[in-house]
Amino acid sequence: MVKPEELMGKVSVVNGKYKLKGTFHISEPNQPIFNAETGKLAGITNPRDMTYIHSYGGEALFFESIAKGILMGTRCDNEKCEFKGSIYQPFRIYCPDCLRKMTPVDMKGMKAKVYSFIITARSGAFNSLKLPIKFINIEFDGVSTILMGYLSVGEPEIGMEVVPIFNTKKPTYTIVDLSWVPAGTPESELPENFTF
């Protein structure tokens, strides 16, 4: 069930502060749970409808970029760092070795392949992806970390070369706006709203 537009909690930033508009908590009466055979009380339901405000902070650039079709990682450029030049994907704000702020880098053209994968036929609550979900771990040439993602076309295989696709037409500004397809997939096979 989707809330009507007028009830949706919306947030903007004005003068450096969050400005809230709409309804963020909706009350609904609770219901008793009875044993259908004995008629005895077993418990109650606790309906909760709340809008959670998730601040992206220093990672906002990553989510803003995927909505524009750009995959950003970060690189340590600190001259004094033993591991200067290390690139991280997923996007990290601070270097784990020297704790200095890293430089955002566009990962365009970096070769990516499937390191491992898992196919999930059942999901938890609030899943918005189509089942079964083909989760893939992505290894990039020259990157220190492995990125978790999901394959939108075909079947995953270890070592398979993949390329990123982006929900640029109707972005949600969440991680599901970034997906992957086997290298060489034609644009006509991409899911709705996604582009290379």
Distance from C-alpha of 162 to C-alpha of 43, rounded to nearest angstrom: 49
The answer to whether the CB of 84 falls within 8 A of the CB of 76 is yes
> Which residue lies nearer to Zn ion by CB, 90 or 171?
90
Site residues (CB under 5 A) for Zn ion, limited to 23-82: 76, 78, 81
To Zn ion, the closest distance from the beta carbon of 182 in angstroms equals 34
Size of the site for Zn ion (CB under 5 A): 6
| Residue 20 amino acid letter | L
Site residues (CB under 5 A) for Zn ion, limited to 75-114: 76, 78, 81, 95, 97-98
To Zn ion, the closest distance from the beta carbon of 85 in angstroms equals 9
The answer to whether the CB of 74 falls within 8 A of the CB of 104 is yes
To Zn ion, the closest distance from the beta carbon of 102 in angstroms equals 7
CA 61-64-65 angle, 5° bins: 85
Asked if residue 96 has a cis previous peptide bond (ω within 30° of 0), the answer is: no
For residue 123, the Cα-to-chain-centroid distance in whole angstroms is: 15
> Which residue lies nearer to Zn ion by CB, 37 or 82?
82
Task: State which H helix or E strand residue 105 sits in.
Answer: strand 103-106
Distance from C-alpha of 96 to C-alpha of 78, rounded to nearest angstrom: 12
> Which residue lies nearer to Zn ion by CB, 64 or 77?
77
To Zn ion, the closest distance from the beta carbon of 96 in angstroms equals 8
> Which residue lies nearer to Zn ion by CB, 75 or 134?
75
> Which residue lies nearer to Zn ion by CB, 82 or 192?
82
To Zn ion, the closest distance from the beta carbon of 53 in angstroms equals 31
Q: Using alpha carbons, select from 173, 162, 172, 149 the residue that is nearest to residue 196.
A: 162
For residue 173, the Cα-to-chain-centroid distance in whole angstroms is: 8
Q: Does 145 bind Zn ion (CB under 5 A)?
A: no
> Which residue lies nearer to Zn ion by CB, 78 or 120?
78
To Zn ion, the closest distance from the beta carbon of 190 in angstroms equals 36
Enumerate binding residues for Zn ion (CB under 5 A): 76, 78, 81, 95, 97-98
